[in-house]
């Protein structure tokens, strides 16, 4: 497949292993193949691309999307049904409640002319979620070829290693294939591949080099790096666009972009702000230090009484209830009816800022219960501003 190499980069070895495992259309292959590797190492992409390019009959399922066995089994059968009757016509929706029915219906469907003499592939992506479904599903899929007596191969894609899947009493062992992580050279190659046409490849490659220099020690996830590359490229080009530098002034470009990338690591990388907010910041050229995080992490100025509600909520959330008497003589940890003005409004605003969250059901009879979700550092900062030594009142610090 010559054009496959242009579409799938740095994965030649895995593609050739998979191709040789599949063999010719009518050949039998391993009943089950387990592919593992880090996220964004190309497992889903390579498998999908290969099956589509070779036009092998296959069904692609995501175990996060189909999180119950019924959803999973029904979707597989219905997709297979579509495959076999590819000449239009709306066929009836197949229902399937148990794995027993699945095996029976699967045998029926694969008797069709268009599916009879070739290997049918079932791909289960995010296969680690299978472990949380019904117990017979995973061992059943591992030996689907034997149970159905058909030419079918099941591929499992996961980032968790096989040893954590194996049931206690053993099972049919799949063939385990490892998708290695991309080396820094590979990452460079793949990221440089999507350079926009207006700029030269070298210019973009230099940018990717700087990006990797900042982020590589923290994150090697291709998807995240690609996202960051796309987001921050306009800022990198800014000096060139404004005419302050040309494409070869690497020092100037570097000095412009490096603090920006460091700032990105503390905000957009952590999902503290959304990417659209980040893009807006770049456009408006505001000082990145003024960014407000989604969770109001460092830049919130609360009203006086709200701070005390927050402190009380923190103590109530993290001190065991029985220790409250020890700390407080007059009132216990629960937020009781007091003469705080507009208490309910203040609590609601704290919930909006995501400093408190609602715990339990809405329809609890004795009022909603809340929990404080800020970290220790944050609450200490708040407590300091009201001269309250919170450490003295925390059980864990006794």
Choose between 240 and 383: whose C-beta lies nearer to another protein: 383
CA–CA gap between residue 67 and residue 51 (Å, rounded): 24
200 Cβ neighbours under 8 A, 6+ residues apart? 247
Total site size for another protein, rule CB under 8 A: 67
Rounded to a whole number of angstroms, the minimum distance from the CB of residue 241 to another protein is 30
**146 near another protein, judged by CB under 8 A:** yes
**376 near another protein, judged by CB under 8 A:** yes
C-beta separation of 207 from 236 below 8 A: yes
**391 near another protein, judged by CB under 8 A:** no
CA–CA gap between residue 364 and residue 362 (Å, rounded): 6
Choose between 42 and 239: whose C-beta lies nearer to another protein: 42
CA–CA gap between residue 291 and residue 282 (Å, rounded): 11
Choose between 125 and 272: whose C-beta lies nearer to another protein: 272
CA–CA gap between residue 239 and residue 340 (Å, rounded): 54
CA–CA gap between residue 354 and residue 300 (Å, rounded): 12
Stretch that binds another protein, among 75-83, 96-104, 198-206, 228-236 (CB under 8 A): 96-104
Taking residues 56 to 85 in sequence order and writing x for each that binds another protein by CB under 8 A, - otherwise, the string is ------------------------------
**55 near another protein, judged by CB under 8 A:** no
Cα dist. 212→68, 162, 184, 263, 355 in Å?
40, 31, 8, 15, 34
Helix (H, G, I), strand (E, B) or coil at 285: coil
Rounded to a whole number of angstroms, the minimum distance from the CB of residue 16 to another protein is 9
**140 near another protein, judged by CB under 8 A:** yes
Choose between 79 and 143: whose C-beta lies nearer to another protein: 143
Stretch that binds another protein, among 71-79, 169-177, 198-206, 381-389 (CB under 8 A): 169-177
**3-state SS, one letter per residue, for 113-161:** HHHHCCCEEEEEECHHHHHHCCCCHHHHHHCHHHHHCCCEEEEEEECCC
CA–CA gap between residue 264 and residue 242 (Å, rounded): 22
User: Which listed residue (63, 94, 147, 154) binds another protein by CB under 8 A?
Assistant: 147
Query: In 238-268, which positions are buried (b, 16+ CB within 10 angstroms) versus exposed (e)?
Result: bbbeeeebeeeeeeebeebbeebbebbeebb
Q: Rounded to a whole number, what is the distance in angstroms from the first to the last CA of the chain?
A: 68
Taking residues 11 to 50 in sequence order and writing x for each that binds another protein by CB under 8 A, - otherwise, the string is ------x--xx-xx-xxxxxx----xxx--x---------
Choose between 211 and 237: whose C-beta lies nearer to another protein: 211
Taking residues 98 to 127 in sequence order and writing x for each that binds another protein by CB under 8 A, - otherwise, the string is xxx--x------------------------
Rounded to a whole number of angstroms, the minimum distance from the CB of residue 173 to another protein is 6
User: Which listed residue (14, 47, 145, 232) binds another protein by CB under 8 A?
Assistant: 145
C-beta separation of 147 from 160 below 8 A: no
CA–CA gap between residue 398 and residue 393 (Å, rounded): 8
Rounded to a whole number of angstroms, the minimum distance from the CB of residue 2 to another protein is 16
CA–CA gap between residue 150 and residue 84 (Å, rounded): 15
**238 near another protein, judged by CB under 8 A:** no
Interaction residues for another protein, span 286-315 (CB under 8 A):
none
User: Which listed residue (6, 217, 290, 339) binds another protein by CB under 8 A?
Assistant: 217
C-beta separation of 44 from 50 below 8 A: no
Choose between 24 and 284: whose C-beta lies nearer to another protein: 24
Q: Determine how β-strand 175-178 pairs with β-strand 32-36.
A: parallel
Residues that bind another protein (CB under 8 A): 17, 20-21, 23-24, 26-31, 36-38, 41, 98-100, 103, 134, 136, 139-140, 143, 145-147, 151, 159-164, 166, 168-173, 175-178, 180-181, 183-184, 216-220, 265-266, 269-270, 272, 317-318, 320, 359, 371, 375-376, 396
């Amino acid at each position: 497949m010559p054009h496959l190499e242009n579409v799938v980069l740095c994965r030649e070895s895995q593609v050739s292993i998979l191709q040789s495992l599949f063999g010719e259309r009518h050949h039998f292959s391993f009943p089950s193949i387990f592919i593992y590797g880090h996220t964004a190492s190309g497992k889903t992409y390579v498998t999908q691309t290969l099956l589509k390019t070779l036009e092998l009959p296959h069904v692609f399922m995501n175990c996060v999307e189909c999180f119950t066995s019924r959803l999973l089994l029904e979707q597989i059968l219905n997709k297979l049904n579509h495959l076999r009757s590819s000449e239009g016509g709306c066929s009836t929706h197949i229902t399937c409640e148990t794995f027993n029915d699945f095996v029976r219906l699967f045998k029926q469907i694969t008797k069709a002319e268009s599916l009879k003499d070739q290997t049918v592939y079932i791909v289960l992506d995010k296969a680690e979620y299978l472990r949380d479904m019904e117990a017979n599903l995973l061992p059943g899929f591992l030996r689907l070829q034997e149970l159905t007596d058909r030419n079918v191969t099941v591929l499992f894609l996961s980032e968790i290693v096989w040893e954590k899947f194996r049931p206690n009493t053993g099972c049919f062992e799949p063939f385990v294939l490892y998708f290695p992580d991309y080396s820094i050279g590979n990452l460079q190659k793949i990221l440089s591949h999507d350079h926009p046409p207006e700029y030269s490849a070298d210019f973009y490659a230099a940018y990717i080099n700087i990006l990797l220099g900042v982020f590589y020690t923290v994150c090697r996830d291709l998807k995240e790096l690609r996202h960051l590359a796309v987001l921050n490229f306009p800022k990198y080009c800014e000096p060139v666009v404004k005419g302050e530098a040309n494409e070869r002034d690497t020092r100037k470009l570097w000095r412009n972009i490096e603090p920006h990338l460091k700032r990105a690591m503390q905000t957009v990388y952590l999902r503290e702000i959304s990417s659209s907010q980040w893009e807006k910041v770049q456009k408006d050229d505001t000082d990145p230090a003024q960014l407000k995080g989604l969770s109001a992490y460092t830049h919130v100025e609360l009203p006086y009484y709200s701070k005390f509600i927050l402190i009380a909520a923190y103590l109530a959330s993290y001190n065991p209830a029985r220790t409250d008497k020890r700390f407080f003589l007059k009132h216990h940890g629960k937020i009781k009816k007091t003469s705080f003005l507009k208490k309910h409004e203040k609590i609601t605003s704290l919930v909006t800022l995501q400093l408190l969250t609602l715990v339990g059901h809405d329809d609890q009879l004795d009022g909603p219960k809340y929990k404080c979700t800020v970290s220790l550092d944050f609450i200490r900062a708040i407590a300091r501003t009201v001269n309250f030594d919170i450490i003295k009142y925390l059980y864990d610090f006794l």
